[in-house]
Structure 1
Amino acid sequence: MLVHAWLTRLGTVELRQDSFGDVDLYRRWVDAGLTSGWWPVLDEAWVYPPAALVPLLAPAAVAGSASPDAYALAWCGLVTLLDAVAVAALLRRPGGHVAAGWWLAFLVLLGPVAIGRLDSVVAPVSVLALLAALSAPRVSAALVTAGAWVKVSPGAAIVPLALASRRPWRDVVAPAAAVCVLVVGTVVALGGARNVASFVLEQGSRGLQIESVGATPWLVAGLWSPSVQRYLNGELVTYEIAGPGTQTMADVLGAGLVVGVLLATVVLWWCRRRDGATFWTDDAVRGDFVVRGAFLMALVLIVANKVGSPQFITWLAPPVAVGLALGLPWWRRTAAALAGVAAATQVVYPWWYDDVLQGVAGTTLLLAARNVAVVALLVVTVVHLLRPPSTARVGGPATDAADGVPAGAPGEPDAPAGSRAVRGEPGEQVGPRAPVVDGRVG
């Protein structure tokens, strides 16, 4: 409550114009629909998926759409409630206190943008989906698909979910398809058939956004080169960068995003094949695969994207929080790195964003360093996935030490020797099983 009260004050009082502009835009869309009957998606193309209207309507149901202040407070209340559910779910896991504490610290470090965007609604939903990945794959698939119809990013987790399922068509594809049918059918029934996919088509008009990873070379070059310009895209209300080669880069990233997702899928498929029978007999290995796979997909969506809004960093938080909650190894270093990325993001936006737009060296270089750190996270994640499963990757005292956590740390009991268990959770034995002959172990 204290964390969200602080972020609410920042967003609605201290930095309202700089950080909560999107929330007021949500209110105006809803107000136009309620007063004049003109709705995004149903009556015009929209940059968001159709189900985004649901969380936009929720604050209006409580506070109405006429008052900007009342709507903003109701929006913050909605995000607070969803985050509370996510924290409660994290606390039910072995490393729950570490995970919940990190999640709340991450929100503070990212700043008011952590609750002032649509991404703040789907992030806690992604936490619940990843926590349910192995125990309730159908629920998990339905949640990430529903999240994708609000903001596309959660949908990328469907790939590791499907690859980690014994019956992917029944447990993942079918629930995801059912959610898609429900959303699309509702939009079509309400008269929005022609705009149901407009959120994809609307992205084509974008240039290279100034905060995007792909814009980093021009961002730095612009510190001394007059050929690089920063400008406002009035139609989409985003700042973009222009210079020699920027349009080519934007076009390459448009196609590269699809290629990047496909390559990440191939990497995950190969890892599953490499792990063989261990993958299906050891829940710790599969759990790490799903969480790290979701993290990989989110990183690809950020790095290979011509858009680079500050709220995109929230896409990376759910896998990290779940990795910590499950006691999976190597996530503490990732969590520390992502916390630094979040802090740098808040410094840039909203506090000193004008410095970036004006080409001030300090803040510009900080943004560039933040982007380099995100690329480094992508590389490290791929390396971890490509590393064969062993005690250095999943479970066991050796892993704890590698992750900077002393074996036998209080509150995190070690697994028995030779077990694949993660921090005391039941798991399969490591190594080949002894053959059974005439009912006896040979």
Structure 2
Amino acid sequence: MARARATSTYGLLAVWTLTRILLLVFVFKMVVFPGPDVTTDVEGIYQGWYVTLRDGTFPLSDVSWQYPPAAALPILSPALLPSLDYASAFFVLACLTDGCVLALLWYAGRQPGQSPRGAWVWTLGVPLLGPTVYARYDVMVTAVAVAALLAGLRRPRLLGALAAFGSLLKVWPALLLVGTTKRKPWAAAAVTAVAIALAFTVTMPGAFAFLTAQRDRGTEVESLGALVFHVARHFGWEGEVLLNYGSMEFVGPYVGVVSTAALMLTVLAFGWLLLWRLRARRFAPHTLADAAFVAVLLFTVTSRVISPQYLVWLIGLAAVCLMFRESRMTLPTVLLLAAAFLTVLEFPLWFGHVVASDALGVTLLFLRNGLLVAATAISAVRLWRDTVPHESPAPEPGQAPPPRTEQLTQPS
């Protein structure tokens, strides 16, 4: 048993090392990855923000800045490696963060009743997205989310604090708390969020300008709603694709209608989560991670934007789910990994075809987004069936009621 476990660990490290060297080769441009240069965000946008943030202000004049105040921290993080230029330091820190996530999943997977599958999902899933992973700060946000879910098993307050910190990095980690049944995580999250928010508000004016920054955004070309316009262009739709708010978006007739429909779907997703939370009764240790995975999937597929880096979040959450042997998120995870592979094909490899809405680009988007929708639907159904008890029919007069079943609860 010990020898088999050691062999598995060496294999895991070997695969992680080889794939991450390949990612570094691409972002350092020792070999040019086909398609648009994904490192321009770091070398241009992030570095420009760095200069502004270093002076104690947010880059409010840049429409691309649409992030919560704690996002300043990963943007400023290359200062930790002053011997390297900004972009090189960022890529190295992204790789180190990736390694920390692997270490967390590997250690947690060695505990009794848990599985190394989570570490393998992370190891194999991240490189499927190509060099974009190391050219965005989302891997750092995902590391906080993974640490929060793993901490939630025994330290509910740390779960809350990390979820709050993560939400001030990029909002979505607030969804990590949807599956917790305890008050401690929510209280810790509230205290942490208020403390960090006050610190940024006092020291850096404009910390919460991001709340209205995305108000005028359209429909990004990779989103689910964008498929309407990709098809409509073949039937004479008069709109166009423009660089808007830092991404390629559709601009033209009926874009506002589709964007509003996407927001309504997000509201419906929130309503489903609320209904699930009110009806759920059976909570096992893996429910916290499963619920977070489903919640982020729901809000990703209904978003007006489905950028490639969004899948980094989902891969991290799926990895935590599969760390638990009892989790039923295996099939959604497989679908997610397939969607990740299609994502690197549509961006950056054949992004020109996506922007042009030609047959190849539209086919890739239909397949990628279809897989995400399927993963969302399947995971939501499985979460419901695992946690919401079936309603038994009322007993007839004189008939004994059915026996009660024991309910599992999360550890306090």
TM (norm. structure 2) is: 0.82
* 1:186 to 1:342, Cα distance in 2 relative to 1, 3 A: same
Give, in angstroms, the shift of residue 361 of structure 1.
Answer: 0.6
* 1:58 to 1:123, Cα distance in 2 relative to 1, 3 A: same
Amino acid at match of 2:259: A
Q: What is the aligned partner in structure 2 of residue 26 from structure 1?
A: 46
1:138-192 deviation digits (Å, cap 9, x = unpaired) = 111111111111111111112223xx22xx1xx1122111221222111222141
Determine if contact 1:257/1:305 at 8 Å carries over to the other structure: yes
Identity of paired residues, percent?
Answer: 28
Which of 205, 227, 243 pairs up with 1:233?
243
Q: What is the aligned partner in structure 1 of residue 26 from structure 2?
A: 10
User: Cα RMSD over matched residues?
Assistant: 2.5
Determine if contact 1:145/1:155 at 8 Å carries over to the other structure: yes
Which of 216, 222, 233 pairs up with 1:211?
222
Determine if contact 2:141/2:170 at 8 Å carries over to the other structure: yes
Determine if contact 1:8/1:73 at 8 Å carries over to the other structure: no
Q: What is the aligned partner in structure 2 of residue 144 from structure 1?
A: 163
Q: Secondary structure of the residue that 2:280 maps to in structure 1?
A: helix
Q: Secondary structure of the residue that 1:328 maps to in structure 2?
A: coil
Amino acid at match of 1:39: T
1:22-75 deviation digits (Å, cap 9, x = unpaired) = 2121111112344xx3631688884111101111111133137xx8xx222211
For structure 1, which segment, 255-264 or 179-188, has the greater mean C-alpha deviation from structure 2 after superposition?
Answer: 255-264
Q: Secondary structure of the residue that 1:150 maps to in structure 2?
A: helix
Structure 2 counterparts to residues 46-65 of structure 1, below 5 A: 46-63=65-82
Give, in angstroms, the shift of residue 267 of structure 1.
Answer: 1.4
- Whether 1:121 aligns to 2:161 is no
Give, in angstroms, the shift of residue 225 of structure 1.
Answer: 2.0
Q: What is the aligned partner in structure 2 of residue 425 from structure 1?
A: none
- Whether 1:290 aligns to 2:259 is no
Q: What is the aligned partner in structure 1 of residue 355 from structure 2?
A: 357
Q: What is the aligned partner in structure 2 of residue 104 from structure 1?
A: 123
Which of 94, 99, 104 pairs up with 1:84?
99
Hey, what's the Cα distance between the residues in 2 that align with 1:191 and 1:42? 11
1:258-302 deviation digits (Å, cap 9, x = unpaired) = 442232122133123xx3xxx3xxxxx2x2321111011101211
Hey, what's the Cα distance between the residues in 2 that align with 1:75 and 1:206? 28
Determine if contact 2:227/2:362 at 8 Å carries over to the other structure: no
Which of 199, 213, 216 pairs up with 1:202?
213
* 1:270 to 1:431, Cα distance in 2 relative to 1, 3 A: closer
- Whether 1:372 aligns to 2:370 is yes
Q: Secondary structure of the residue that 2:286 maps to in structure 1?
A: helix
Give, in angstroms, the shift of residue 228 of structure 1.
Answer: 5.0
Hey, what's the Cα distance between the residues in 1 that align with 2:331 and 2:77? 37
- Whether 1:153 aligns to 2:168 is no
- Whether 1:253 aligns to 2:268 is no
Hey, what's the Cα distance between the residues in 2 that align with 1:185 and 1:263? 32
Determine if contact 1:303/1:375 at 8 Å carries over to the other structure: yes
* 1:23 to 1:269, Cα distance in 2 relative to 1, 3 A: farther
Hey, what's the Cα distance between the residues in 2 that align with 1:62 and 1:432? 53
Q: Secondary structure of the residue that 1:310 maps to in structure 2?
A: coil
1:394-427 deviation digits (Å, cap 9, x = unpaired) = xxxxxxxxxxxxxxxxxxxxxxxxxxxxxxxxxx
Give, in angstroms, the shift of residue 218 of structure 1.
Answer: 2.1
Q: What is the aligned partner in structure 1 of residue 57 from structure 2?
A: 39
Hey, what's the Cα distance between the residues in 2 that align with 1:90 and 1:155? 21
Determine if contact 2:229/2:237 at 8 Å carries over to the other structure: no
Determine if contact 1:111/1:346 at 8 Å carries over to the other structure: yes
Hey, what's the Cα distance between the residues in 1 that align with 2:298 and 2:115? 27
* Aligned residues between the structures: 367
* 1:253 to 1:152, Cα distance in 2 relative to 1, 3 A: same
Q: What is the aligned partner in structure 2 of residue 174 from structure 1?
A: 187
Gaps of 5+ in 1: 280-284, 391-429, 434-442
* 1:96 to 1:7, Cα distance in 2 relative to 1, 3 A: farther
1:319-342 deviation digits (Å, cap 9, x = unpaired) = 210122122343332221111010
Q: Secondary structure of the residue that 2:210 maps to in structure 1?
A: helix
* 1:376 to 1:107, Cα distance in 2 relative to 1, 3 A: same
Gaps of 5+ in 2: 1-16, 389-403, 408-412
Hey, what's the Cα distance between the residues in 2 that align with 1:389 and 1:251? 32
Give, in angstroms, the shift of residue 226 of structure 1.
Answer: 2.6
* 1:388 to 1:143, Cα distance in 2 relative to 1, 3 A: closer
Hey, what's the Cα distance between the residues in 1 that align with 2:327 and 2:192? 33
Hey, what's the Cα distance between the residues in 1 that align with 2:348 and 2:36? 10
Q: What is the aligned partner in structure 1 of residue 391 from structure 2?
A: none
Determine if contact 1:216/1:371 at 8 Å carries over to the other structure: no
Looking at both structures, which has the greater relative contact order when contacts are Cα pairs under 8 Å and sequence separation is at least 6? Answer: 2
Q: What is the aligned partner in structure 2 of residue 338 from structure 1?
A: 336
